Amino acid sequence: MRRGSKQTPPDAAKLALNTATTREKWTLAQAIEGCARHGIRGIAPWRDQLKAMGVNRAARAVRAHGLVVTGLCRGGMFPASNVRERKRRITDNLRAIDQAYALGARCLVLVVGGLPPGSRDLAGAREQVAAGIAAILPHARDARIPLAIEPLHPMYAADRACINTLAQALDVCDALDAEKSGALGVVVDVYHVWWDPDLEAGIRRAGEKRLLAYHICDWLVPTADLLYDRGMMGDGVIDLPGIRSWLERAGYTGLHEVEIFSAAKWWKRDPDEVLRVCCKRHHRYC
């Protein structure tokens, strides 16, 4: 009875692992080897684990295993209370672009940041985000690292990202890269956008050039925690085949990156088991 859209199962070679899924048990080196072991062809590392492994060592390891780096997580976090802190964050984003370049990542994921401490000025924070992206875009163009704005679920508007819909992210793309050069685009993460009545239209509007990454997991009912209770594909209510069909119709040919924050369940399991389940669920529910 848990019905969504019918579709042909996705190509198994499209599966990728965002290392947030295994971060409690595996280092980046282990995650890279794990992907290779399970036939998973793409990986998206986080910068804390990347730093621990060393960028060059990580770059060698992903190349040795022939993995695609679907994205580097993450840049962003632009809004701040004062100019000095804003500049510090720009500098950090420039460094992230360099790291993405060294890794050969397909994009740098931007979680844009929320309200500065003590602020209630949401429109102002959104202006700071656009200004921050504008400030780093030239360097990203030079490095040929596309910047991928990730609209986050509205429940994170205050503290993580004040860009909360695909339409809003695409408005920023239009403002800063009107020519659709491919230097600026979006991440479609089903967890953040599945509820949006304008999602299909937004994916169509983004088009191939701006659809830089596709993140999958599921929305659990009930959801016990705002941050760390994402579900494995098939355990929740998101119509994953339906959303995939919209992406494919818009020309997206990239990977399907599993990103599951799950303190109570998947983070506690053996990551080899988690990856086996990801492969099965990708085939069956995505």
Which residues of this chain interact with a second copy, rule CB under 8 A?
1-4, 81, 115, 117-122, 126, 153-155, 157-159, 162, 164-165, 168, 194-197, 219, 221-223, 226, 236-239, 242
The least distance separating a second copy from the CB of residue 127, rounded to whole angstroms, comes to 12
As a whole number of Å, the end-to-end CA separation of the chain is 16
- Confirm if 278 and 235 have CB atoms less than 8 A apart: no
The least distance separating a second copy from the CB of residue 3, rounded to whole angstroms, comes to 6
Edge-first strand listing for the sheet containing 211-216? 68-69, 42-44, 15-18, 256-258, 211-216, 184-189, 147-149, 108-111, 72-76
C-beta of 53 vs 162, nearer to a second copy: 162
The least distance separating a second copy from the CB of residue 58, rounded to whole angstroms, comes to 32
C-beta of 155 vs 264, nearer to a second copy: 155
The per-residue b/e assignment along 145-156, b for 16 or more CB within 10 angstroms, e otherwise, is: bbbbbbbbbeeb
The least distance separating a second copy from the CB of residue 273, rounded to whole angstroms, comes to 25
User: How many other C-beta atoms are found inside a 10 Å radius of the C-beta of residue 216?
Assistant: 29
C-beta of 104 vs 242, nearer to a second copy: 242
Q: How far apart are CA 273 and CA 265, in angstroms?
A: 12
C-beta of 237 vs 264, nearer to a second copy: 237
